[in-house]
Amino acid sequence: MRPTEPLLGGGAPQTAVRPPLPVKLVIAGGFGVGKTTAVGAISEIEPLTTEAAITEVAAGVDDLTHTPRKNTTTVAMDFGCLTIDPTLKLYLFGTPGQERFGFMWDDIVEGAVGGLVIVDTRRLDDCYAAVDYFEHKGIPFAVAVNAFDGQVQHTMDEVRWALDVSEGVPVLVFDARERGSVRDALLVVLEQALARTEG
């Protein structure tokens, strides 16, 4: 049922559709874990990306061992949005994964209600910075293990132990290429944020 408001001059009520509540979520993680892919898979608009070609110099700095076909990288952020229902719209901001772009995180995360930390279990070290960041800022987050090639190298209990995250932080498996899988992971983050506000 939609809310109604009277016309300014009186008369019959006019249907007024309230815009959906905007909610900001951040998608973070190390280099090449699937952040841009996840935003692109779920966004209802053409996502805004700041991809730049990986140069020979960058290739010497960024570890391409597990992502040999990767030829671009996010240098600022990714942006997309998703309407959950008529009352709620998610605005998604993907962070750059390399430590040298870490100075941008405070601006990107400002106003976010939660975060999704994407993990590649072949290189867990790459996501420590993102986990530490959200813990330090007190922002609710979930850990999403990206199933590259449909495979995960460790159990979720092993991932939780390795990242040293509390039992209150959800750790789940998802596929950054699949819209439904990304949606489900984001809904977990929303549940975390809601639980925080009600706690």
Task: State whether residue 130 is helix, strand or coil.
Answer: helix
Question: What's the pLDDT score for residue 14?
Answer: 58
Three-state DSSP at 72 gives: strand
Residue with tokens 């590259």: 148
Integer-rounded Cα Rg, in Å, for the chain is 19
- Determine the Cα–Cα distance for residues 72 and 152; give it in Å rounded to an integer: 24
Residue 53 DSSP code: E
* Tokens encoding 45: 């608009």
Q: For residue range 129-171, list pLDDT tens digits in order.
A: 999 999 999 999 999 999 977 778 889 999 999 999 999 999 9
pLDDT for 85 beyond 70:
yes
* Residue 103, pLDDT score: 60
Q: Judging by DSSP bridges, how do beta strands 88-94 and 78-85 pair with one another?
A: antiparallel
**For 21-50+75-198, which CATH superfamily applies?**
P-loop containing nucleotide triphosphate hydrolases (3.40.50.300)
Q: Is 35 exposed, middle or buried (0-12, 13-18, 19+ CB in 10 A)?
A: buried
Q: How many CA atoms lie within 13 A of 160 on its CB side?
A: 12
Residue carrying the six token digits 């960041």: 133
What tokens does 166 get? 């509390």
Domain chopping of the chain, boundaries: 21-50+75-198
Q: Tell me: the pLDDT tens digits for 88-133?
A: 999 999 988 556 555 677 888 999 999 999 999 888 888 899 999 9
Residue-wise pLDDT tens digits, 51-84: 555 444 444 444 545 444 545 554 457 899 999 8
> What is the pLDDT at residue 62?
46
Length of the chain: 199
> Does the reported pTM lie above 0.95?
no
Nearest to 92 by CA among 113, 122, 73: 113
